């Protein structure tokens, strides 16, 4: 008997990530230069022996934005952030107590779930569910003490006065809600708002603001990925475009003009499966015997019920795979053994797999008959270093013929069990 493995693979998962934006300081309120806005998002699935039932992608996107600037703020809230790499600048002054929300500082984000298709090199596709769940940024103006015409004091107090007691870093208008209280400086107001709906959120200042810039814009997101156990090994790539500007997916109103009219999110999902088998030394040779050995038949004249042999092994699997037979001698869809006279008898090759691996009909694998037509098996979780077995049997009627008609001869044949993850 021979055992052969061909290794490449597949997998499923639910991955949640959060993004938000940084609150860095950039001097000046000069005109904004247009630039491309592309954001990379990456995640990896690799089976974890310590957590075999956790079938999820791990976010590997480099931290940026708010959580890069304020790591302690994000860590206690379980947030992860990434910068959108866009800015927006007012085109005319924001009037005090303006009535139209679109004439001042406002935000609207694409909060609804959208589907993103990712594809690997072989053309296999998977779907990601993606939605924006929060927005954070820095509002920069000239000194807030100049805007409200009061002597220097605490900037948080001055910003509260500017916005009628509702500073951007300390409160949020419905349907947005504050994600955490953020401090202000004399020129910068940092904020983090949860955005459950694709509805504008904005405020009207009590004093006129001649120029306002939205800087370091970033978002939080919710990403739901497919089950990696049902995906082929490899790298999956895809992208989604969000429009920026009045009426767009990211909408800052009619007054604020953005640096770019498109934000592209590029996704890279890496699936790194395991499919491994470990057989004991000398596994390549199997001898078929009756239960209890030949002595019972030789000494007592008892005819064997059948001939059999078991071959145990250990296995690791996080991907679906197929198992089929290749035979030196074939009878129908089964392998056979042959004696020097040319008499052939079929050998049933059966398979037992550990818990967590199931047939295409979602059944456990216990002494399942294999054939030359490969059968597919799938994991419900990562199977790590678990026992499995191959069973080889010659049925009673065949043993009877071997004994009655070919007693004393030796039957041989190669049975190759092929494991293939490319299914």
- Tokens 């120029």 found at: 211
Q: Could you tell me where the beta strands, DSSP code E, fall in 171-273?
A: 177-178, 188-194, 201-203, 213-224, 234-243, 256-258, 262-271
Element at 160 (helix H, strand E): helix 155-162
Q: Identify any residues that bridge with 297 across adjacent strands, giving them in sequence order.
A: none
pLDDT single digits (tens) 51-85: 888 889 998 988 888 778 878 877 887 777 789 99
Q: Identify any residues that bridge with 390 across adjacent strands, giving them in sequence order.
A: 311, 351
Q: Which of helix, strand or coil describes residue 382?
A: coil
Q: Which of the two residues, 405 and 6, has the higher pLDDT score? A: 405
Q: Which CATH number applies to 275-420: 3.30.565, 1.10.150, 2.60.40, 3.60.90?
A: 2.60.40
The two three-digit tokens of residue 335, written as one number: 């392998």
Q: Which of the two residues, 15 and 382, has the higher pLDDT score? A: 382
- pLDDT reported for residue 301: 66
Q: Identify any residues that bridge with 177 across adjacent strands, giving them in sequence order.
A: 194
- Mean of all residue pLDDT scores within the chain: 87
Q: Which of the two residues, 115 and 293, has the higher pLDDT score? A: 115
- pLDDT reported for residue 32: 42
Rounded CA-CA distance 43/26 in Å is 31
The two three-digit tokens of residue 156, written as one number: 């948080």
pLDDT single digits (tens) 320-350: 999 999 999 999 999 999 999 999 999 999 9
Rounded CA-CA distance 98/163 in Å is 12
CB burial of residue 256 (10 Å; 0-12, 13-18, 19+) = buried
Per-residue pLDDT for 380 more than 70? yes
∠145-149-154 over CA atoms, to 5°? Answer: 30
Cis omega (within 30 of 0) for bond into 175: yes
Rounded CA-CA distance 192/76 in Å is 14
- Tokens 């008898």 found at: 345
- Tokens 């509260």 found at: 160
The predicted model gives 212-224 an average pLDDT of 92
pTM, two decimal places:
0.79
pLDDT single digits (tens) 119-140: 999 999 999 999 999 999 999 9
Per-residue pLDDT for 141 more than 80? yes
- pLDDT reported for residue 348: 97
State the CB neighbour count (10 A cutoff) for residue 404. Answer: 9
∠169-250-90 over CA atoms, to 5°? Answer: 65
Region(s) of the chain under CATH 2.60.40: 275-420
Q: Which of the two residues, 285 and 23, has the higher pLDDT score? A: 285
Rounded CA-CA distance 189/214 in Å is 10
The predicted model gives 216-232 an average pLDDT of 91
CB burial of residue 293 (10 Å; 0-12, 13-18, 19+) = exposed
Per-residue pLDDT for 2 more than 70? no
CA gyration radius for the chain? 33
Rounded CA-CA distance 222/194 in Å is 12
């Amino acid at each position: 008997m021979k055992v052969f493995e061909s290794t490449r693979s597949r997998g499923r998962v639910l991955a949640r990530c959060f993004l938000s934006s940084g609150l860095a300081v950039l001097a000046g309120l000069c005109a904004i230069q247009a630039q491309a806005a592309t954001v990379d998002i990456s995640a990896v699935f690799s089976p974890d022996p310590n957590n075999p039932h956790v079938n999820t992608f791990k976010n590997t996107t480099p931290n940026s934005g708010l959580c890069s600037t304020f790591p302690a703020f994000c860590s206690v809230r379980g947030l992860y952030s990434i910068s959108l790499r866009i800015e927006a600048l007012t085109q005319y002054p924001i009037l005090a107590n303006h009535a139209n929300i679109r004439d001042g500082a406002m935000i609207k984000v694409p909060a609804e779930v959208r589907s993103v298709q990712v594809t690997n090199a072989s053309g296999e596709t998977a779907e990601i569910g993606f939605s924006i769940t929060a927005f954070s940024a820095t509002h920069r103006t000239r000194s807030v003490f100049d805007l409200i015409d009061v002597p220097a004091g605490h900037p948080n107090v001055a910003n509260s006065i500017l916005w009628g007691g509702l500073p951007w870093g300390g409160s949020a208008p419905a349907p947005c809600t504050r994600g955490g209280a953020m401090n202000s400086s004399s020129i910068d107001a940092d904020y983090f708002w949860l955005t459950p709906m694709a509805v504008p959120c904005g405020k009207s200042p009590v004093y006129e603001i001649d120029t306002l810039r939205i800087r370091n814009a970033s978002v939080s997101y919710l990403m739901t990925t497919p089950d990696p156990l049902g995906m082929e090994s490899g790298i999956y790539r895809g992208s989604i475009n969000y429009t920026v500007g009045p009426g767009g997916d990211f909408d800052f109103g009619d007054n604020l003009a953005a640096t770019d009219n498109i934000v592209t999110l590029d996704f890279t999902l890496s699936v790194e499966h395991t499919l491994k088998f470990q057989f004991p030394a000398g596994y390549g040779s199997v001898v078929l015997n009756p239960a209890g050995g030949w002595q019972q038949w030789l000494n007592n004249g008892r005819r064997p019920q059948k001939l059999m042999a078991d071959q145990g092994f250990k296995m690791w699997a996080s991907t679906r795979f197929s198992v089929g037979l290749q035979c030196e001698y074939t009878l129908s869809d089964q392998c056979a053994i042959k004696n020097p006279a040319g008499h052939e008898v079929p050998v049933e090759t059966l398979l037992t797999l550990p818990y967590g691996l199931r047939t295409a009909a979602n059944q456990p694998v216990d002494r399942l008959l294999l054939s030359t037509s490969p059968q597919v098996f799938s994991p419900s979780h990562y199977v790590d270093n678990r026992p499995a077995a191959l069973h080889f049997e010659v049925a009673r009627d065949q043993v009877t013929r071997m004994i009655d008609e070919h007693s004393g001869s030796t039957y041989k044949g190669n049975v190759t069990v092929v494991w293939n993850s490319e299914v």
